[in-house]
Amino acid sequence: MAAVSMRLPVARKAVGPSAPRGGEKHLVAPGDTITTDTGYMRGHGTYVEEEKLIASVAGAVERVNKLVCVRALKTRYNGEVGDIVVGRITEVQQKRWKVETNSRLDSVLLLSSMNLPGGELRRRSAEDELAMRDYLQEGDLISGVLVQVSPSLVKRQKTHFHDLPCGASVILGNNGFIWIYPTPEQKDEEAGGFTTNLEPVPLSDREVISRLRNCIVALVTQNLMLFDTSILYCYEASLSHQIKDILKPEVMEEIVLETRQRLLDLEG
Amino acid sequence: AKTFTLLQSEAVFWNGKDLEDLRVDGRGCEDYRCAEVETDVVSNTSGSARVKLGHTDILVGVKAEMGTPKLEKPDEGYLEFFVDCSANATPEFEGRGGEELGTEIANTLYRVFSSESSVDLKSLCINPREHCWVLYVDVLLLECGGNLFDAISIAVKAALFNTRIPKVRVLEDEEGSKEIELSDDPYDCIRLNVDDVPCIVTLSKIGYRHVVDATLQEEACSLASLLISVTSKGALTSMKKVGKGSLDPESIFEMMEMGKRVGKSLHIALQKILDEEESLGTSRQKVGFLG
């Protein structure tokens, strides 16, 4: 049965600022004057014009002693040591793979850094390169959904691999790529790098994954930080709606408001 | 599209071999994304409409101008379509990148409206062989989020519904020279009957299933699609196959039936919203572009 819903547009309501944590942030837009004090050194996101320090990006001002910089709210991913990233392989080259990670340049994954399941050691040779194709080839079936969001919305946490109680697992990449997949049955080969799951995913799992995906999109649209608790609360708030309705503007507002409330209650 | 080189196999996760009606965003195969429609958004046009279907944003303006009827159809007016793929929509449209797509869409619109029953062209005639109304339909792509043809056809129908053509009278004096008189009242207009204006329904084949209203990712996974134009009564007025892949005759038949079904629902939903908007009259708060 076809379902087509059309509506008249509604003017966007200005969302009030959520409770500030740890003091007010000094937010600037491109062209805003940060300071007229010439004693400061200019950092990223700023420039000097007529003895005034002006912001060149939209973001929050950060001050470290004499260095003033503006950290942009929406940027490409800038990697840091220890980050977890999720990438999409775009090219296969001689000894490496080109990976798309929403950064300024394409990332590179060397064959020598690949860990095989079982953790066996192997010699890096020509046979090794060819043997790689036994594990993964172009066009292989991947069970899971990738959601791409802005890197600034992924909260830094101790771990980015989460097995949610609703039956799916997520990997929250610091680069804004979020991988949602059905929780694997057993967890034996911890030392390995990946599992090759080629079975079709059951409908119940796919519904959970679709729901999670829509919840993440809803959180991102309302600019809420993404972490395991916020995603879970949003999932629970969405259960009273059909999966496809979650993306309707009024439903998104409702469930994110509920999520925001629960998160505030958690803190307070 | 360059940025979406998705694999056919990723789509299999979404639509599998088993007959389940679940896409990534939870929609069924016959479900459209939520659409927003607003008419009368551009002030210096005879009619305009803006349609937002997911991330696809289309603006259509209709300008009625006087022209000479075509030689082979002396007692009819006509429609001219022009499609502009704005560089704002996607980086691929930078410079002249969007020209090819724009021409393809315009040609499709000409084909869809080539059927005689779509618009009553005789009502656009002022003076046979001499004067007629020419409706210049300009389509502007503001954002590309998949399923362009459907969104454009919805916007064109809404804009034509919104079009107000001034009433003119042709006065002939004793010497035989004709003068065209425009009515003094700016609200004295004629409106087009859009009951038989078709809408395009694009059906994309992904894996073993057919889906309507494909998102950008779904379009990247689909090797073949069928574009059909359907009227509100469920009549098919034109059909076009796009894509590198092939479709077997049984698929085509299924897609046609699905398209007719979905097309009828599309028209009902659109007419309902257009009527609702009209009933609000001058009290309607126009949202426009900065809302």
Closest partner residue to B26 (CB to CB) among A143, A201, A246 is A246
Interval B216-244: pLDDT, tens: 888 888 889 999 999 999 999 999 999 98
- Closest-CA distance, A33 to chain B, in angstroms, reads 25
Q: Does residue B255 carry a pLDDT above 80?
A: yes
The reported pTM is 0.85
Give me the phi and psi of A145, to 5 degrees please: -125, 135
pLDDT band at B108 (very low <50, low <70, confident <90, very high): very high
A255 burial class (0-12, 13-18, 19+ CB within 10 angstroms)?
Answer: buried
Query: Sorting pLDDT into bands at 50, 70 and 90, what band is A213?
Result: very high
Mean pLDDT of chain B: 87
Closest CA to B190 of B126, B261, B127: B126
Q: How confident is the model over A183-195, as a mean pLDDT?
A: 54
Is the distance from CB of A85 to CB of A79 less than 8 angstroms? yes
Nearest chain A Cα distance for residue B171, angstroms:
42
Give the A:B interface size as CB pairs under 8 Å. Answer: 120
Residue A241 banded pLDDT, cuts 50, 70, 90: very high
pLDDT in the model for residue B186:
76
At A267, phi and psi to the nearest 5? -70, -45
Contact A8 B273 (CB under 8 A): yes
> What percent of chain B is modeled with pLDDT above 70?
92
How many whole angstroms separate alpha carbon A225 and alpha carbon A248?
Answer: 20
- Name the strand (E) or helix (H) holding A260: helix A249-267
Please check whether residue B200 is in contact with residue B150, taking contact to mean a CB–CB distance below 8 angstroms. yes
Tokens 């850094």 identify what position?
A: A113
Among the partner-chain residues B9, B10, B32, the one whose CB lies closest to the CB of A4 is B32
Report CB contact under 8 Å: A10, B287.
yes
- What number is the average pLDDT over the span B19-43? 87
- How much is the mean pLDDT over chain A? 82
Average of pLDDT values for A102-130?
Answer: 73
Name which of B14, B23, B291 is nearest A12 (Cβ-Cβ).
B291
Chain B residues with CB inside 8 Å of A182's CB? none
Instruction: Write the CA distances from A67 to A39, B148, B169, integer angstroms.
Output: 9, 48, 74
Q: How far is CA A13 from CA A249, B277, B280, in A?
A: 11, 21, 21
Specify the pLDDT at position A137.
62
Highest-confidence segment of A25-29, A42-46, B148-152: B148-152
B257 or A112: which leads in pLDDT? B257
ipTM more than 0.90? no
**Average pLDDT, stretch A169-176?**
92
User: What's the confidence (pLDDT) of residue A189?
Assistant: 45
For B217-222, the CB contacts below 8 A with 24+ separation are B217/B4, B217/B6, B217/B24, B217/B146, B218/B11, B218/B14, B218/B23, B218/B24, B218/B146, B219/B1, B219/B4, B219/B146, B219/B147, B220/B1, B220/B4, B220/B5, B220/B6, B221/B6, B221/B7, B221/B8, B221/B10, B221/B11, B221/B14, B222/B11
Which residue of A8, A142, A201 is in closest CB contact with B10? A142
Q: Which residues does chain A have within 8 Å of residue B215's beta carbon, measured at their own beta carbons? A: none
Find which of A190-194, B48-52, B120-124 is predicted with most confidence, using mean pLDDT.
B48-52
Q: Where are the alpha helices (DSSP H) in chain B?
A: 8-15, 99-112, 148-162, 216-221, 249-280
Q: Is the pLDDT of residue A223 over 90?
A: no
Rounded (10°) CA dihedral B207, B56, A75, A256: -90
Distance (Å) of CA B118 to CA A14, A70, A147, B136: 43, 57, 41, 16
Decide if pLDDT at A76 tops 60.
Answer: yes
pLDDT the model gives residue B281 = 84
Edge-to-edge strands of the sheet including A168-172? A145-148, A177-182, A168-172, A161-163
3-state SS record for B172-209: ECCCCCEEEEECCCCCCEEECCCCCCCEEEEEEEECCE
Give the confidence band of B18 by pLDDT, cuts at 50, 70, 90. very low
**Residue of A5, A8, A181 best to disrupt the B interface, most CBs of B under 10 A:** A8
Residues 6+ apart with CB under 8 A from B257: none
| A143 Cα to chain B: minimum distance (Å) | 6
What pLDDT, on the 0 to 100 scale, is given for residue B156? 96
B262 or A122, which is more confident: B262
pLDDT of the residue at B17: 40
DSSP letters, A225-244, are PB-HHHHHHHHHHHTTS-GG
Query: pLDDT digits over A52-65, tens only?
Result: 899 999 988 988 88
Q: Which residue of A has its CA nearest to B27?
A: A244
Residue A191 has pLDDT above 60, yes or no: no
CA-wise closest residue to A213 among A175, A182, A187: A182
Structural contact between residues B264 and B232, judged by C-beta atoms closer than 8 angstroms: yes
Distance from A264 to chain B by nearest Cα, in Å?
Answer: 28
User: What residues contact residue B100 under an 8 Å CB cut-off, 6+ apart?
Assistant: none
User: Is the pLDDT reported for residue A164 higher than 50?
Assistant: yes
- Determine how many CB atoms are found less than 10 A away from the CB of residue B34: 19
The pLDDT of residue A118 is: 60
Q: Which residue has the higher pLDDT, B83 or A133?
A: B83
Residue B165 CA to residue B192 CA, distance in Å, equals 8
Say what the pLDDT of residue B65 is.
93
| Min Cα–Cα distance to chain B from A86, Å | 16
Residue B56's pLDDT is what? 93
Least confident residue range of A41-50, B77-86, B169-178: B169-178
Say if residues A243 and A255 touch (Cβ distance below 8 Å): no
Q: Is the pLDDT of residue B11 over 50?
A: no
B184/B112: higher pLDDT: B112
Rounded to the nearest 5 degrees, what angle is found at the Cα of B260, between the Cα atoms of B19 and A243? 45
Which residues are CB-neighbours of A231 under 8 A, at least 6 positions away?
A162, A164, A170, A212, A215, A216, A219
Span between the terminal Cα atoms of chain A, in Å: 46
Q: Is B155:B49 a contact under the CB 8 Å cutoff? A: yes
Q: Say what the pLDDT of residue A152 is.
A: 87
Question: Quick one: pLDDT band at residue B4, thresholds 50, 70, 90?
Answer: very low
CB contact at 8 A, B98 and B92: yes
Q: Which pLDDT belongs to residue B85?
A: 92
pLDDT of A163 above 60: yes
Other Cβ atoms less than 10 A from the Cβ of B104: the count is 16
Percent residues over pLDDT 90 in chain A: 25
Cβ partners under 8 Å of residue B268, min gap 6? A4, B232
The dihedral through the CA atoms of A103, A106, A110, A115 has a sign that is positive
Contacts of residue B17 in chain A, CB cutoff 8 Å?
Answer: 200
Name residue B65's beta-bridge partners.
B134
- pLDDT score of A122 more than 80: no
Q: Each residue of B191-214: pLDDT tens digit?
A: 999 999 999 999 999 888 899 999
Looking at residue B16, its pLDDT comes to: 44
* Residue B179 or A230, more confident: A230
